[in-house]
Amino acid sequence: MKYSRVLVTGGAGFIGSHLVDALVKNGVTIRVIDDLSSGFKQNLEHLDKIEFIEEDISKLDVIQKVVSDIDIIFHIAANASVPMSVENPTLDYMSNMTGTFNLLKTCLDSEVKKIVYASSAAIFGEPKYLPINEEHSKMPISPYGASKLAAELYGFAFQETYGIKFTSLRIFNAIGPRQPRYVIFDFLNKLKKDNSNLDILGTGKNIRDFIYVGDVVKIFIDCAEKAISDGEAYNLGTGVGISITELAIKILKELNLNNTKLTYTGFSWKGDILKLISNPNKLKKDLNIKKFTPLSEALSDEINWFQQKIGKI
């Protein structure tokens, strides 16, 4: 890897910890900052050659110390919950906007050459067409989507104004081991408690584009390495959508649960988007991606992890 001193914000979380695993194999010096509000230190306990700092990126004095001798930043730390952003927009702003601005501002007086930022498909709001390409209009319908979009725009503005290279990766729905919440984990957790019935939030008709966390990590590292990604935004999805009901059926099949009844709450939450499917053409072209991990393989990996670490179903 062409960068030797790496900072991963949110590095104890789901995507962040997998990224740290991959970076360790690249032999770089790694510093992780995570306040453990949603991450888990045990995600990194098997690694002994990283520096871990338990702190909040919204604290400017902390960020100034953490960034001082870094070459590249993978910025993943954020509130990643749409419902939480609706319930507490101030917390969402502090985490996603203040934290990102502090990071960008501090980079001006540091050796940082590039930032690879974890954005979100939530910036698009309800799509006007599918699949969603990078040029699709941005009209977020939640504080979370708004804060991710604003942070992304600040990053590009700092590249134009100050020359700090910035790449934004708009993640659709990443899945895999260590995912501590969201639809697949929630399904598995419910089935662990009672596998006779699976209660699905909403109608089950929502469509999502799931991408394996291993693919996400590879894309993050490729963007760090390749100059073609400087100043670019990419949609991180496979281009294949699946309804939540179809997803539930796949999970039940993987678990050999043939008699589980599906029920629906009929209501969802504010900020929920009905359909999200990525157009990955730009991503594939610029980063020379030939294929993505099949959903069946990604599901199997997460289910195996869950049963080993959380409990048998």
Q: Decide if pLDDT at 167 tops 90.
A: yes
pLDDT at 243: 99
Q: What is the mean pLDDT of the chain?
A: 97
| Burial classification of residue 246, based on how many CB atoms lie within 10 Å of its CB (0-12 exposed, 13-18 middle, 19 or more buried) | middle
Residues 49-66, mean pLDDT to the nearest whole number: 96
Q: What is the pLDDT of residues 149-160, one digit of tens each?
A: 999 999 999 999
pLDDT at 269: 83
Q: Decide if pLDDT at 268 tops 90.
A: no
Q: What is the pLDDT of residues 185-224, one digit of tens each?
A: 999 999 999 999 999 999 999 999 999 999 999 999 999 9
Distance CA 3, CA 44 (A): 21
Identify which of 306, 28, 287 has the alpha carbon closest to the alpha carbon of residue 11.
Answer: 28
Residues 147-175, mean pLDDT to the nearest whole number: 98
Give 272's contacts (C-beta < 8 A, 6+ positions apart): 82, 202, 206
Distance CA 156, CA 271 (A): 25
Alpha helix stretches (DSSP H) within the chain: 14-25, 60-67, 82-87, 89-93, 99-107, 143-162, 182-193, 213-225, 244-254, 281-287, 295-309
b/e 23-52 (16+ beta carbons within 10 angstroms → b): bbeeebbbbbbbbeebbeeebbeebeebeb
- For residue 171, give both structure tokens: 């993640």
Which residue segments constitute the domains of the chain, with CATH numbers given? Answer: 5-174+210-236 (3.40.50.720), 179-208+240-275+291-309 (3.90.25.10)
264 counts as catalytic: no
Confidence of residue 263 (pLDDT cuts 50, 70, 90): very high
* Residue of 144, 154, 212, 234 marked active site: 144
